[in-house]
């Protein structure tokens, strides 16, 4: 039987960012150096495939430090960053810990601390319950940071001439942030902006690349986990930029091949910053078995960012 023809557009860049690659390497190196088990507070990155494979290598994931009975074992804090109180708790309980916070999240922490020291109230644009936002808000002791999700939330704030600063979660949609910042500027005449955007290079580049393939695709597949903020944003960006159907799946086992009917001739593929390229390649392999595919890579930019490891794990 002749196979149906499919054009595949692969977004570049896609998948692992430098912060995620570093966080995974931290867990692997810690297992090499200290042996098993190594405890990790919270999923090291929001990706089921990554978490499962690290678990197989000897990582034990916990939600809170209380769950760790053997206090002689090291604990790693995730790439999303933790509140100051979590580190204080670890020290008080005698844990050795390694902080895998992404340097770009750390940069936002430093801004929050500086604004607080300068007595400037701060708006944090982000999702209230996201671990990164909890960690950023938790960098300062007093209640000096207000969280807003979007421009609608900003409408609920009182106008003020008081000096006010804003910072952002690193994995939001670039376009949505612009809208929220415009709303903030209308509300606060003395608004202090971050020197450079807090939305990180990886989020920005992946969203720009997905915009390029969205227009070409009848269906756009984002590889990533449902709890990954940057992966969810890629799906939303695709739908807002010309693709009528975009789906977010952990891996190919979640793809319903019956959905690829006569109306689908062009498929876009990308992957969130915490998704492994292996999973993308498995998807391509399965598509190849069923369809006559031609693959074109659509490049927004070539990335070469690398973050160094914490001193205790350097070779
Ligand atoms: S998405 Fe951005 S902020 Fe988050 S880990 Fe990757 S590089 Fe760091």
Nearest to 53 by CA among 65, 40, 66: 40
Q: Is residue 43 part of a domain?
A: yes
Q: Is residue 171 part of a domain?
A: yes
Do 216 and 194 reside in the same domain of the chain? no
Q: Is residue 307 part of a domain?
A: no
CATH number of the domain to which 72 belongs:
3.40.50.11270
- DSSP codes of every residue in 22-57: HHHHHHHHHHHHH-S-EEEES-SSS-HHHHHHHHHH
Q: Is residue 313 part of a domain?
A: no
Do 116 and 195 reside in the same domain of the chain? yes
Q: By residue range, what is the domain housing residue 116?
A: 104-199
Give the end of a domain, one of 102, 120, 135: 102
Q: Is residue 121 part of a domain?
A: yes
Q: Along the chain (315 residues), what's the average pLDDT of each consecutive run of 10 residues?
A: 95 98 98 97 94 97 96 96 98 97 98 96 96 97 94 95 96 92 96 91 97 98 96 97 97 97 97 97 98 98 97 86
CATH number of the domain to which 148 belongs:
3.40.1010.20
Give the end of a domain, one of 70, 102, 134: 102
Q: Is residue 309 part of a domain?
A: no
pLDDT (0 to 100) of residue 314: 82
Alpha helix (H) residue ranges in the chain: 18-34, 48-57, 84-92, 103-117, 131-137, 151-155, 174-187, 201-214, 229-240, 277-290
pLDDT (0 to 100) of residue 237: 97
Q: Which of 77, 101, 102 to mutate to test the pocket of ligand 1 (most atoms within 8 A of CB)?
A: 102
Do 119 and 191 reside in the same domain of the chain? yes
Do 205 and 294 reside in the same domain of the chain? yes
Which residue's alpha carbon is at the smallest distance from atom 5 of ligand 1? 19
pLDDT (0 to 100) of residue 195: 84
Residue 21 main-chain phi, psi, to 5 deg: -60, -40
Q: How many domains does the chain have?
A: 3
Do 174 and 222 reside in the same domain of the chain? no
- Our answer on whether the CB atom of 18 is closer than 6 Å to any ligand 1 atom is yes
- The 8-class DSSP code of residue 194 comes to P
- Our answer on whether the CB atom of 47 is closer than 6 Å to any ligand 1 atom is no
Do 217 and 293 reside in the same domain of the chain? yes
- Our answer on whether the CB atom of 17 is closer than 6 Å to any ligand 1 atom is yes
pLDDT (0 to 100) of residue 1: 78
- Our answer on whether the CB atom of 207 is closer than 6 Å to any ligand 1 atom is no
- Our answer on whether the CB atom of 21 is closer than 6 Å to any ligand 1 atom is no
**Angle at which helices 48-57 and 18-34 cross, to 10°:** 10
Q: How many residues does this entry show for the chain?
A: 315
- Our answer on whether the CB atom of 44 is closer than 6 Å to any ligand 1 atom is no
Give distance in angstroms: CA of 146 to centre of ligand 1: 22
The model's pTM is 0.95
Do 293 and 208 reside in the same domain of the chain? yes
Do 66 and 118 reside in the same domain of the chain? no
Which atom of ligand 1 is closest in space to residue 23's alpha carbon? 5
Which atom of ligand 1 is closest in space to residue 22's alpha carbon? 5
Please confirm, yes or no, whether 132 is among the known catalytic residues.
yes
Q: Is residue 312 part of a domain?
A: no
Q: Is residue 142 part of a domain?
A: yes
């Amino acid at each position: 039987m002749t196979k149906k023809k499919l054009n595949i557009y692969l977004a570049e860049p896609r998948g692992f960012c430098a912060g995620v690659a570093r966080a995974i390497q931290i867990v692997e190196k810690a297992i090499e150096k200290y042996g098993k088990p190594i405890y990790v507070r919270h999923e090291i990155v929001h990706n089921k495939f990554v978490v499962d494979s690290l678990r197989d290598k000897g990582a034990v994931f916990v939600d809170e430090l209380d769950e760790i009975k053997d206090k002689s074992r090291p604990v790693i804090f995730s790439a999303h960053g933790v509140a100051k109180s979590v580190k204080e708790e670890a020290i008080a309980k005698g844990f050795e810990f390694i902080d895998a916070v992404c340097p770009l999240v750390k940069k936002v922490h430093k801004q929050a601390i500086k604004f607080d020291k300068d007595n400037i109230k701060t708006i944090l644009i982000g999702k209230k319950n996201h671990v990164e936002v909890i960690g950023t808000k938790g960098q300062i002791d007093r209640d000096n940071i207000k969280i807003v999700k979007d421009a609608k939330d900003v409408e609920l704030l009182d106008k003020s001439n008081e000096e006010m600063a804003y910072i952002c979660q690193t994995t939001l949609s670039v376009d949505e942030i612009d809208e929220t910042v415009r709303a903030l500027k209308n509300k606060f005449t003395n608004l202090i902006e971050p020197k450079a955007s807090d939305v990180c290079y990886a989020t920005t580049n992946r969203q720009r690349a997905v915009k390029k393939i969205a227009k070409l695709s009848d269906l756009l597949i984002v590889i990533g986990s449902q709890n990954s903020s940057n992966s969810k944003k890629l799906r939303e960006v695709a739908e807002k930029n010309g693709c009528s159907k975009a789906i977010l799946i952990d891996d190919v086992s979640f793809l319903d091949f019956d959905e690829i009917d006569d109306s689908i001739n062009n498929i876009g593929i990308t992957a969130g910053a915490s998704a492994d390229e292996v999973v993308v390649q498995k998807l391509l392999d399965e598509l190849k078995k069923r369809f006559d595919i031609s693959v074109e890579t659509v490049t927004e930019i070539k990335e070469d960012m690398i973050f160094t490891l914490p001193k205790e794990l350097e070779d």
